[in-house]
C-alpha cells in the first residue's frame, strides 16, 4: 500500500474519529461463531494457528487467544500494533503482533496457518492489490485451511440521508464506514465474491444485517459472512 494510505490509517488509529467499534475490546460479531466452527470441525485450539489480517488494535486476535488459539495479528499501523500488544499482554504466550503490508509478499512460509480472519480488511484494498492479498492468503493457508470473510455487501447501506454507491467492477471511493477521503473500498455482489475467491471452496456463504455507529451516524449494512476452504 502507498505511504499516503498508511499515513491515513496511522492518523485514524490515533484520533479514532472515523469509526468507533473497530477499537472496542469486543470481537467482530462473526468471530465467536467462527471459533466455534473451527472447534466443531475438529481443530484443537492449542494446535491451531490463526492469522488475523489487518488486526488493528487486536480485538479479534485477543479474543481468539483467550479461547486458546495460537494467533498472529498483522497490521501496517505501528500505532495500532503498539496498542494491540498492550491489550494482549495477558495472553501474550499465544499471541504475536507483526507489521505486515498485505499488498506485498507476506513473511510466512507456504501452508503455515490453519485459519485466517478477514474482518472488513481486504475490502479496503484497491482492486489489483486486493487480488494479490487473496492469493497470499491462499498461499499461507494449509490445505483444508479456513478463510473467514466478513465484509459489506454491494448497495446495502441504509443510513438515512447517506448513499453508498454500488460497486460492480470498480472500487467505491467513499462510504459511511470510514472517513470519506480515506481508502478505496469494495462492496461485493454475490457473483463477484465467488469470482474473487474462486481458488477456494465455499464452506458457507450468506448475509447478515449489522448495525454500527460511525462518523457520528447510526449505520446499518448488509454484510457478507463466508467461510472459504483451501482445497485438500
3-state secondary structure 60-124: HHHHHHHCCCEEEEEECCHHHHHHHHHHCHHHHHHEEEEECCCCCCCCCCCCCEEEEEEECCHHH
Q: What is the pLDDT along the chain (232 residues), one digit of tens a residue?
A: 555 666 666 666 555 555 544 556 789 989 999 999 999 999 999 999 999 999 999 999 999 999 999 999 999 889 889 999 999 999 999 999 999 999 999 999 999 999 999 998 998 888 888 999 999 999 999 999 999 999 988 854 433 333 333 333 343 333 334 444 444 467 888 999 999 999 999 999 999 988 766 656 676 778 899 999 999 9
- What pLDDT score does 118 carry? 97
The residues that bridge with 51 in the sheet, in sequence order, are 72, 116
Q: Among 213, 214, 130, which residue's Cα sits nearest to residue 179?
A: 214
The grid coordinates listed for 106 are 507476506
Is 206:187 a contact under the CB 8 Å cutoff?
A: no
- What pLDDT score does 214 carry? 61
- What pLDDT score does 3 carry? 52
- What pLDDT score does 128 carry? 83
- What pLDDT score does 222 carry? 86
- What pLDDT score does 170 carry? 40
Is 42:76 a contact under the CB 8 Å cutoff?
A: no
Please report which helix (H) or strand (E) contains residue 168, including its range. none
**pTM beyond cutoff 0.75:** yes
Amino acid at each position: 500500500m502507498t505511504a499516503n494510505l498508511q499515513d491515513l490509517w496511522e492518523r485514524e488509529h490515533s484520533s479514532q474519529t472515523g469509526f468507533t467499534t473497530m477499537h472496542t475490546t469486543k470481537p467482530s460479531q462473526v468471530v465467536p461463531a467462527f471459533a466455534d466452527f473451527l472447534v466443531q470441525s475438529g481443530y484443537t485450539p492449542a494446535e491451531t494457528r490463526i492469522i488475523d489480517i489487518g488486526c488493528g488494535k487486536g480485538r479479534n486476535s485477543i479474543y481468539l487467544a483467550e479461547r486458546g488459539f495460537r494467533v498472529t495479528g498483522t497490521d501496517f499501523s505501528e500505532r495500532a500494533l503498539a496498542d494491540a500488544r498492550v491489550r494482549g499482554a495477558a495472553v501474550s504466550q499465544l499471541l504475536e503482533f507483526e507489521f505486515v503490508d498485505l499488498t506485498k509478499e507476506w513473511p510466512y512460509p507456504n501452508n503455515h496457518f490453519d485459519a485466517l480472519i478477514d474482518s472488513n480488511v481486504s475490502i479496503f484494498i484497491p482492486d489489483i492489490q486486493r487480488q494479490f492479498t487473496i492469493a497470499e492468503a491462499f498461499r499461507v493457508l494449509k490445505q483444508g485451511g479456513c478463510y473467514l470473510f466478513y465484509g459489506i455487501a454491494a448497495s446495502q447501506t441504509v443510513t438515512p440521508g447517506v448513499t453508498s454507491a454500488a460497486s460492480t467492477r470498480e472500487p467505491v471511493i467513499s462510504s459511511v464506514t470510514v472517513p470519506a477521503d480515506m481508502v478505496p473500498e469494495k462492496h461485493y455482489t454475490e457473483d463477484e465474491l465467488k469470482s474473487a475467491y474462486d481458488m477456494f471452496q465455499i464452506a458457507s456463504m450468506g448475509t447478515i444485517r449489522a448495525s454500527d455507529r460511525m462518523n457520528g451516524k447510526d449505520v446499518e449494512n448488509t454484510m457478507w459472512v463466508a467461510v472459504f476452504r483451501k482445497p485438500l
